[in-house]
Amino acid sequence: MTERTDELFRADSYLTTCEAHVLEVNERGGIILDRTVFYPTGGGQPGDRGVMTKEDGAEIRIGTTLYVGDDIVHVPEEGQTLPQPGETVSCAIDWDNRFRLMQMHTTMHLMLALIPRPINGCQVGADKSRIDFDLGDFDLDKERLEADLNALTAADHSVTITAVADEELDARPELVRTMSVAPPRGKGTVRLIQIGRADAPVDLQPCGGTHVARTGEIGRLRIGKIENKGAHNKRIAVHLEG
């Protein structure tokens, strides 16, 4: 199945509202639109929640957003009157929650810049995130890591969206750090998130998630619990303070 929904969040993470047409309401009540600002769960980042407003002014609370096959499905909370196919709705994400997820997702990329090792998993949260590294013999110093992480945010590096051809990504395997999830292929290009200058990036990774525009928007971070998750694997918790 080809994608039916224009993913507005890919080009602009700060877009909070849009109008859209309902394409389908599936058998479980999930709403599929022709365009959306709602990010679906993926890449360790939770799906957006928010509100859809119908033509008659009735509001539908969206509890989460998911990919189901190739479709982006907006999942309403229980007990609500659903729209009809062809109806126009106004969409608005929970911006406070989304922005904190953006702050934390960019933070996870900064962690990758500071720890040059493969990762086995990542979970982005609004207040606390965690990332699993295959550390091997890497020397991990918690206090130094926290200081270096906050130095990167304070440096206010730019965060920009670029792209790389599938063939170039194949020739540059060092760009792919995750050991569990391959970047999406098949469109000819892969979306990259670049932190810092193009000639000397702090980090450059394939990523479909939403991010802040500058690292200075993240604020103060704290390294939390570090757990052993195998012979070489360590899970590092990062907290967003304030």
- For the chain, the distance separating the N- and C-terminal CA atoms, rounded to the nearest angstrom, is 43
pLDDT of residue 188: 77
Domains of the chain in sequence order: 6-93 (2.40.30.130), 98-240 (3.30.980.10)
Count of Cβ atoms closer than 10 Å to residue 171 Cβ: 10
Q: Cβ distance 31 to 22 under 8 Å? A: yes
Please tell me the number of Cα atoms within 13 Å of 230 on its side-chain side: 11
Each of the 242 residues of the chain gets a pLDDT tens digit; together they read: 456 899 999 999 999 999 999 999 998 889 999 999 999 999 899 999 999 999 999 999 999 999 999 899 999 999 999 999 999 999 999 999 999 999 999 999 999 999 988 898 899 999 999 999 998 888 889 999 999 999 999 999 999 999 888 788 777 777 776 655 556 655 678 899 999 999 999 999 999 999 999 999 999 999 999 998 877 789 999 999 97
Token pair, residue 76, equals 């309403």
Strand order in the sheet with 200-206: 159-165, 189-197, 200-206
- The pLDDT score that the predictor gives to residue 31 is 97
Instruction: Please give the pLDDT value at position 1.
Output: 40
The secondary structure of 60-108 as a DSSP string is EEEEEEEEETTEEEEEEPSS-PPP-TT-EEEEEE-HHHHHHHHHHHHHH
